[in-house]
Structure 1
Amino acid sequence: MKITSQHFSPEVKKPQETEEQTVKVTAESPAAEKAASNAVKTDASRQRMLSWFARVGISPSMMSPDPKKQKHALERRKQILETQKASNLQAVLNIALNVTINEQTSDNLDPDWFFAFSTMAEEIYSPPMQELWGKIFAVEVARPGSFSLRTLQLLKTLTHRDAQVFNKAVNVASRRNNDAVPRILVGYHKRKGLLSLLRRPVPEQINLANVGLSYPDLLSLQEMKLIYTSEIESAEYDEGQQVTWRCVNENISLTSKTSGVALVYYKFTSVGSELYKLVTKSPNEAYLTSIKSVLGEVFNVS
């Protein structure tokens, strides 16, 4: 039976909410909403956890006390993992088949290199990294010996985020003519003389963080052994000496205004130099503007 106000006797009235009770309810409403929001977030996080572990054949209740069911669950997990590895290799192959390499050779691919490559590539799950491995295989087939197993072993430890950091370094790297080793030019060093004490000080290096390559990025690249751990100075240039660097698709011609000037740069390691060839490059205009401005103090830049 539905209770209405008619069921109350005239002497009995509905209890009235006090002001204090009203304030309490109002105050508790945001807390209740927050609790509900947290519950939704927790449930979403839980679903993500379940989803990731499902990819490797694991669920909260898979290990049954029944030996037969347990064996079936383990066999199913093994099948899921093997299927995923085969899928990874297929993705790498499909990418390699669509890579065009102009230079060809009659040399055969080293079987030891290939089987080591396939063992590592089957555990590459990220599509961007699979693309990189596909390019490596295509280049190695066309030009055997381009990538060492040491490079592959290091590459296997890199994540997609690591590759993004490396890509930033590649976009500010330059190479001299006929030099396969890239370098990140950061400025110059000049022998101090008496006249330099009377001149206005000028910045000798650019701040790479201002052009997108932060100090933590440099540390990461050094830890990954893609660039050397310290800055390096070139040999000193004589007055009028010229050198040309190519940064992505732009040539930078430097002619020394005076003697005793050396370029300062970060040098790529041999592994970093091999991977440099694979990365799709795009010019960093902010970097080009900054490095030309700094080097323009001691070089004629064209």
Structure 2
Amino acid sequence: MGEALEIAKVLVAPTTKLIEMVGQAIGTAYEPRQKRKLADATAYEISVIGEAMRNAADVPIVYDKNGVVINSEDFNRLMQRTGTRLALQEATKQLNIENIIDNAYEILEKEEKCSDDPVEQGWINRFFDSVAGISDEDLQNLWGKVLAGEIKQPNSYSLRTLDTLKNISKHEAELFQKIAPFILERNSSFFLPSSNELLEKYNIAYRDIMILDECGLINSGGFVSLNLSVSNTKPEFMYNKTKLVMVYGTKSDENVISIGEFELTRAGKELFALLDSIPNDEYVVDFADEVEKENHGSVKISIYQINSIEEAQINYQLTALHTFPINSEEK
């Protein structure tokens, strides 16, 4: 009799999803930066309020037999200045929040689609509670990337990561950016090789590692090693964005080699993915050379150029850029 109709599932545009979420979270409609002058207006408001605070005089306070006495007229002025201070604080928080939303919007503008799964309310609450006090521009950019990433794919960033990022200073973020070019990945694990020689050569101090450990971004304690089981037919590999390091054993029997590492925490992994870092190619060559020398005679290591990485599938050039030991092809 009737005809069943299949309703197509409409994908929500990433920017639309952001605007709807922000409206629910902060209770006001959001307009993109290019469509408004709110940031400039708010900045002006802050400067005016700040000037009023600087011009305010102290309230005369008298102590007599009746205790502390404040003239009612002076008390009213005090209350006005108190209101001004609170208004300044809230205006600053609002400006911080809107700057971060603007950063996320600009990222999502370049995306055509995203997951239609909703962002969890608990995550939204934690996020906006965390960002109100973030005034540094670089950190605001990082928070904007977190928000955009969570909009595109909910559950990309844990609550623990939000708490970790909230407590990171600009200096600590710069330290993390400093080690980023030297991070390698294996089986979804991200690590910084702990070789003292390499750390010293590339100006990475152990105190920097300790600071990042205290931040909750990297594990520096203990003697943690990456164990690779290799043979001449069964390789193991590590990689960054541009280079693949392939490790073979020299015998048919499997041989286990160990590489010291400082592994990134979950928060470290999630934030590392947001950094615009360029891998250090020279470091990768030095790393492969050192691993071969420490296991001389038992391994052969080759470095390849990566063409692309898509969903854990690595496409790379078949001709090696470097091979260690250097004369291994003649043996």
AA of the residue aligned to 2:105? L
- 1:88 paired residue number: 96
- 1:255 paired residue number: 248
CA apart distance, 1:166: 0.8
- 1:78 paired residue number: 86
Higher relative contact order (CA 8 A, sep 6+): 1
Q: 266, 271, 296: which is aligned to 1:270?
A: 266
CA apart distance, 1:128: 0.2
- 1:63 paired residue number: 58
Which runs of 5 or more structure 2 residues have no equivalent in the other structure?
1-48, 61-73, 303-331
- SS at 1:264 equivalent: strand
In 2 relative to 1, CA 260–110 (structure 1 residues): closer, same or farther, beyond 3 Å?
A: closer
- SS at 1:94 equivalent: helix
CA distance in 2, matches of 1:125, 1:243: 44
Conservation of the 8 A alpha-carbon contact between 1:233 and 1:264: yes
- SS at 1:283 equivalent: coil
Q: 208, 225, 240: which is aligned to 1:233?
A: 225
Which runs of 5 or more structure 1 residues have no equivalent in the other structure?
1-53, 188-204
- 2:213 paired residue number: 222
- SS at 1:171 equivalent: helix
TM-score (norm 1): 0.70
CA apart distance, 1:247: 2.0
CA apart distance, 1:250: 1.5
In 2 relative to 1, CA 64–281 (structure 1 residues): closer, same or farther, beyond 3 Å?
A: same
CA apart distance, 1:57: 8.2
CA apart distance, 1:125: 0.6
Conservation of the 8 A alpha-carbon contact between 2:243 and 2:281: no
- 1:117 paired residue number: 127
CA distance in 1, matches of 2:132, 2:52: 17
Q: 112, 129, 144: which is aligned to 1:134?
A: 144
Please, which moves more after superposition, 240-249 or 228-237?
Answer: 228-237
- SS at 2:239 equivalent: strand
Matched, 1:206 2:197: yes
Q: CA-to-partner distance for each residue in 1:96-120, whole Å, 9 max, x for gaps?
A: 0111457721211111211221111
CA distance in 1, matches of 2:50, 2:236: 54
- 1:51 paired residue number: none
Conservation of the 8 A alpha-carbon contact between 1:242 and 1:253: yes
- 1:279 paired residue number: 275
TM-score (norm 2): 0.64
Tell me how many residue pairs correspond in the alignment.
Answer: 231
- SS at 2:197 equivalent: coil
AA of the residue aligned to 1:115? N
CA distance in 1, matches of 2:51, 2:176: 29
CA apart distance, 1:272: 1.0
Please, which moves more after superposition, 125-134 or 271-280?
Answer: 271-280
- 1:18 paired residue number: none
Which of the pair has more CA radius of gyration?
1
CA apart distance, 1:144: 0.5
Q: 282, 286, 290: which is aligned to 1:294?
A: 290
Matches within 5 A, 1:11-22: none
AA of the residue aligned to 2:208? D
Q: 146, 149, 162: which is aligned to 2:156?
A: 146
CA distance in 2, matches of 1:254, 1:102: 39
Conservation of the 8 A alpha-carbon contact between 1:186 and 1:208: yes
In 2 relative to 1, CA 55–263 (structure 1 residues): closer, same or farther, beyond 3 Å?
A: farther
CA apart distance, 1:245: 1.1
In 2 relative to 1, CA 149–260 (structure 1 residues): closer, same or farther, beyond 3 Å?
A: closer
CA apart distance, 1:285: 3.6
Q: 174, 198, 209: which is aligned to 2:184?
A: 174
- 2:320 paired residue number: none
AA of the residue aligned to 1:88? N
- SS at 1:164 equivalent: helix
Conservation of the 8 A alpha-carbon contact between 1:173 and 1:248: no
